[in-house]
Amino acid sequence: MQLRPEIHRWIAFALVVPFLAACEVEPDPDALQEAPPAEEPDPDAPPPDAQMEHAVVPLQPMGDSDVMGEAMLMEEADALVVVVDVTGLPGEGDFPSHIHEGTCDDPGGVAEPLSDVIGLEDGTGSSTSTIDLGALDPGGQYLIMVHAEDGAPIACGELDAGM
């Protein structure tokens, strides 16, 4: 028996349509979730691509000490954050640190006290201080000095002019 071409098309159509219907993917209602509400940006926060102004000051040994390290200065709003990290301390203790006027070869008086460097048994130590940004004259000459517990200078680093 010979089928007419129209019948072949109807048979093919009748076989394909249920197959396509079976392949259709139904959305899972449990998988559909509302997106969380967007957080409001903090108006006081710096833009995400803004970089915090900072400078690194190498600290070199003074006298007979082996103390060396660095001080990182970061500008934050109206403040200057000073982080001092050193190695070579003689052990545990509180080691005074300051911003002085002058240079390491010719240090002057204390311009701004910093938090004591807390020395650990392994000879490392650190401190973090926050000072008023306007406390230092932009044209002044300054240094960061770490002192032994008896007050003798044991490490020093000069701030670049204009910092």
> What are the pLDDT digits (tens) for 17-62?
454 455 555 555 555 556 556 666 666 555 544 455 789 999 999 9
The C-alpha atoms of residue 56 and residue 30 are separated, in whole angstroms, by 53
Tell me which fold the domain 54-158 belongs to: Immunoglobulin-like (2.60.40)
Q: Which H helix or E strand runs over 54?
A: strand 54-61
What are φ and ψ of residue 24, in 5° steps?
-65, 135
Instruction: Read off the pLDDT of residues 80-122 as tens digits, 9 standing for 90 and up.
Output: 999 999 999 999 999 999 999 999 999 999 999 999 999 999 9
Chain position carrying tokens 């048994």: 121
Say if pTM beats, i.e. exceeds, 0.75: no
Lowest mean pLDDT among 26-35, 58-67, 137-146: 26-35
SS3 sequence of 80-138? EEEEEEEECCCCCEEEEEEEEEECCCCEEEEEEEEEEEEECCCCCEEEEEEEEHHHCCC
pLDDT for 67 beyond 50: yes
**pLDDT for 77:** 83
Scanning the structure block, which residue is given the tokens 């960061």? 144
Residue 12 has pLDDT above 60, yes or no: no
